[in-house]
Structure 1
Amino acid sequence: MASNTKPPRISAQTLSDQLALDPGPEPDTFTTRFLPERMGNMGSFAYGGCALGVGVQAACETVQPGYRPYSISGSFLAPVSIDIKLDASVRRVRDTRTFATRLVEISQVQPQKNGKSQRRLCMILLADFHKEGEESMLDFSAPPDGTYSGPENSLTPQEIARNLADSKTITPETETAYNTLFGLMARHFETRLAPEGIGAQNLTGMAKQQPTTQDSLPLTSKSTADWIRCRTPLRQDKPLEHYAGLAFILDGYLSFLAGMHNHMFLDDAAACASLDFAMRVFSSQWDLTQWNLREMKSVAGGEGRTYSEARLWNAEGRLVANMTQQSILRPFGKKKNKASL
């Protein structure tokens, strides 16, 4: 008798493994080596950064040496299942002496109730590349909006959660839930939350009742900042893997950032998910295995959506990249009063 028991799940232990691709059956097609994983939820849906990072990695696999991504945009089209590997199909839209453009489709072959399977498109991504070596007429970048402590004076999220639990600000169950919900990021990256940011003061929103030093500010002026670096070396034979990893981390937190900055968490929303994204890279003077500062702010909200931004600086203060996202943020419906007899 056939067994219905699923084989044990093997998780990627490094960021390189998480982003690794194997060649598909057709030219410029790829399949992930490991399954995507969840973050920020306990359901069967994967963290959006898994698909985003894989899409960037697939695009990078098809360009000639010396081309680097500078603009990547696209849309999340459907949830990604954590039980199915991702497939990437790349279309070579443009190749010139200076530029290259790739259109990437990320999909999964998902089982249907009738016993058959159907390919589901999960993300579409447009990646533009620029040949290295261009001279700059002007060379400048904006500083962070806030002033933040360095990584040596900042705590990891796990240390903050432990301190809040020790002071009985949060329950031990909340501490455990945090470490579970955000375990994927902790596995691949060392993160230290700058104490001046909201995320360090309310445990990225899970300590909802905790007052913060930014409570008097307008929502659009509030910020969270952290120092982040990859825990493991990236593959030397794939230098553009840093860009795929960059997309992986910049996706984090943006869909519920406005709630985090307003004493709310994911369980306060009926729907919270990223709809579209745009990542711009301004410099190649950064290394994902070294400390980089990320600052996150919400720009606008309304019509059931929010628009937020993450910006990244290297340790020398050079703005190297940003990501903007528009996300769905829908409240729970109001309960209707039953008619009285």
Structure 2
Amino acid sequence: MSDPTALQELMGLFDLETIDADLYRGRVVRTTRPRVFGGQVAAQALCAGIRTVDPAYVVHSMHSYFLLPGDPQVPIVYDVERIRDGRSFLTRRVSARQHGRPIYYLTANFQVPESGLEHQDAMPEAGEPEDGTDLVALMRAGGTPEADALAKEWGALEARWVGSSKSGLPEDAEHPSRARLWLRVEGDLGDDPTAHLAAFTYASDISLLGATLAAHPVSPSETQMASLDHTIWFHEPFRADEWWLYDQVSPAARGGRGLALGRVFTRDGTLVATVAQEGLIRPRV
């Protein structure tokens, strides 16, 4: 059942305080984890960039780097730089800072919507979201050390696990490391497009690095994991409070790093976003 308090807390994260022109402050969630959830920083930075853009322009891509772990005890300041203001496209660069140092950089591109050539990949078979396994329960059963803390951070989200290369998905010789799950925000986000963009960006940081482990006999509890970068291409507007499939594949892992790609499909089969993330995947010692 939806937790109204968790949803209110999530939406409160996206309600940035204006400090000055193109300068904003975002609150953080108190947590027992040693760092701020990366999806929160990415979502707040995107909201800061959107604040400086005419509503006629819609974000179509964001590219970002996680530089330092965020401190969960102090707010984050977001400084927006107006890189480009064109007739069709706009570009914003956002620096997230704490303690006088940048912890995250985002570059976002915006476009006036227009028509053009269209095609998309077909949605893979994933069953119904209601038939999936609760992701947090699965993490607890697998001994993930941060499962309880993540359950609190993800309290406004519902994640239903479909399977991975280890279990639940058919063997695929071309893609040996895969994972698949259904996600949505529990509750009604309303009709503000920014709320859905921010909530999706927040949730897009869930489980991607886990896909890089799916080809190996290790678990997240045995692995030091941290996001290094995060990219999203937004293909079409959609509601983050309705089920969407996160189809994830890891093309390669080397040098203590793993790369994961995620295709995002709405329940009717529309490909609405593509996500890419590289992260640290180092055995715990």
Tell me whether the two structures share a fold, i.e. TM-score over 0.5. yes
Counterpart pick for 1:53 among 43, 48, 63:
43
Are residues 161 and 50 of structure 1, via their aligned partners in 2, closer, same or farther at CA, if it must alter by over 3 Å?
A: closer
Partner in structure 2 of residue 282 of structure 1 = 235
Matches within 5 A, 1:291-306: 291-306=243-258
**Is the CA contact 1:14–1:232 (under 8 Å) kept in the aligned structure 2?**
no
**Is the CA contact 1:251–1:323 (under 8 Å) kept in the aligned structure 2?**
no
Q: Does 1:193 align with 2:161?
A: yes
Give the secondary structure class of the aligned counterpart of 1:288.
coil
**Is the CA contact 2:144–2:221 (under 8 Å) kept in the aligned structure 1?**
no
Q: Which runs of 5+ in 1 are unaligned?
A: 1-9, 110-118, 165-169, 200-210, 334-341
**Aligned residue pairs: how many?**
281
Provide the C-alpha distance between the structure 1 equivalents of 2:6 and 2:181, rounded to a whole number of angstroms: 26
Describe the superposition over 1:258-295 as per-residue Cα deviations: whole angstroms up to 9, x where unpaired: 225524233323x42111121101112x1111111111
Q: Cα distance, 1:222 vs. partner?
A: 3.6
Provide the C-alpha distance between the structure 2 equivalents of 1:219 and 1:273, rounded to a whole number of angstroms: 26
Are residues 275 and 95 of structure 1, via their aligned partners in 2, closer, same or farther at CA, if it must alter by over 3 Å?
A: same
Describe the superposition over 1:33-57 as per-residue Cα deviations: whole angstroms up to 9, x where unpaired: x31455xxx5321111111111111
Are residues 235 and 22 of structure 1, via their aligned partners in 2, closer, same or farther at CA, if it must alter by over 3 Å?
A: farther
Q: Cα distance, 1:66 vs. partner?
A: 2.0
In terms of fraction of residues, the more strand-rich structure is 2
Matches within 5 A, 1:1-341: 13-24=8-19, 26-32=20-26, 34-36=27-29, 43-109=33-99, 119-132=100-113, 134-136=114-116, 138-144=117-123, 146-158=124-136, 174=143, 178-185=147-154, 187-194=155-162, 197-198=163-164, 212-213=167-168, 220-234=175-189, 236=191, 238-269=192-223, 271-284=224-237, 286-332=238-284
Give the secondary structure class of the aligned counterpart of 2:203.
helix
Q: Which runs of 5+ in 2 are unaligned?
A: none
Provide the C-alpha distance between the structure 1 equivalents of 2:68 and 2:130, rounded to a whole number of angstroms: 40
Q: Cα distance, 1:180 vs. partner?
A: 3.7
Are residues 175 and 95 of structure 1, via their aligned partners in 2, closer, same or farther at CA, if it must alter by over 3 Å?
A: closer
Give the secondary structure class of the aligned counterpart of 2:175.
helix
Q: Cα distance, 1:256 vs. partner?
A: 3.7
RMSD: 2.7
Question: 1:184 corresponds to which letter in structure 2?
Answer: E
Q: Cα distance, 1:247 vs. partner?
A: 1.4
Are residues 176 and 126 of structure 1, via their aligned partners in 2, closer, same or farther at CA, if it must alter by over 3 Å?
A: closer
Greater RCO structure (CA 8 Å; 6+ sep): 2
Are residues 45 and 218 of structure 1, via their aligned partners in 2, closer, same or farther at CA, if it must alter by over 3 Å?
A: farther
**Is the CA contact 1:86–1:107 (under 8 Å) kept in the aligned structure 2?**
yes
Are residues 63 and 177 of structure 1, via their aligned partners in 2, closer, same or farther at CA, if it must alter by over 3 Å?
A: closer
TM-score if structure 2 supplies the norm length? 0.88
Are residues 281 and 180 of structure 1, via their aligned partners in 2, closer, same or farther at CA, if it must alter by over 3 Å?
A: same
Give the secondary structure class of the aligned counterpart of 1:192.
strand
TM-score if structure 1 supplies the norm length? 0.74
Provide the C-alpha distance between the structure 1 equivalents of 2:49 and 2:69, rounded to a whole number of angstroms: 21
Describe the superposition over 1:145-201 as per-residue Cα deviations: whole angstroms up to 9, x where unpaired: x42111232232356579x6xxxxx6xxx499634433312x11122222xx129xx
Q: Cα distance, 1:125 vs. partner?
A: 0.5
Identity over the aligned pairs, expressed in percent? 23
